[in-house]
Structure 1
């Protein structure tokens, strides 16, 4: 009975586990003093006057979260990366979502008289965002 409870708890922990996130930046201009994430705005079209600071990217992945949640987390990570280099804006260049299930079939032989068939399924949700960290001039 104790083993079943432990397995149930571990399963719940795995299902509600952390989102895998990653981010990076390549400096291409002059950095500025770090800003706050709340002050970084997203742009789909270039503002009238800005300075380029860095090429930035971020990703978020999790098997059990919705695509919308993953986009939100990836964009938050992208804003965090932009704030580190002193940007007050991000010119978005790419939002790419991948959602699907990978299924693997395998034959298992336990002895000469017994064969088995196994199926393993795993989810695969991933969102990647890219942009240009910018400082918008007023």
Structure 2
């Protein structure tokens, strides 16, 4: 029965895990845009204006790739809120931690949590005419 409870709680964590993010504004904030219009860059484009440093992490998703996808989407959401239409990707990684489960019962256990992280510089590139 205890194993069933542990598996149940772990599956709930995966289903309701979330992505979170933050930004540090370093330039001119513009009106928000649709996150689907934010492009990712591995190389620095020409003629861009830096707007903010953006970070995101996610422990959602059934696979590591699923968690990365959620984190990237949150990174785009962060950039779109400040009007950035691009992100120069700086780093990706994994953050490991544990949660205590079974609180309030006579059985407690540790649940490993692995979050995928991404960060970059939110930028604005003037659209070509």
Do both share a fold (TM > 0.5)?
Answer: yes
1:33 to partner: Cα distance: 0.9
> Which residue pairs with 1:122 in the alignment?
111
More strand by proportion, 1 or 2?
Answer: 1
* 5+ long unaligned stretches in structure 2: 99-106
Q: Which of 58, 61, 68 in structure 2 is aligned with 1:60?
A: 58
* 5+ long unaligned stretches in structure 1: 103-117
Map 1:15-54; keep pairs closer than 5 Å.
16-54=14-52
Query: When the two structures are superposed, what TM-score results if normalisation uses the length of structure 1?
Result: 0.71
Map 1:46-125; keep pairs closer than 5 Å.
46-62=44-60, 65-98=62-95, 120=109, 122-125=111-114
Larger Cα-atom Rg: 1
- 4+ residue segments displaced more than 3 Å: 118-121
Query: When the two structures are superposed, what TM-score results if normalisation uses the length of structure 2?
Result: 0.76
Q: Quote the RMSD (CA, aligned, Å).
A: 2.9
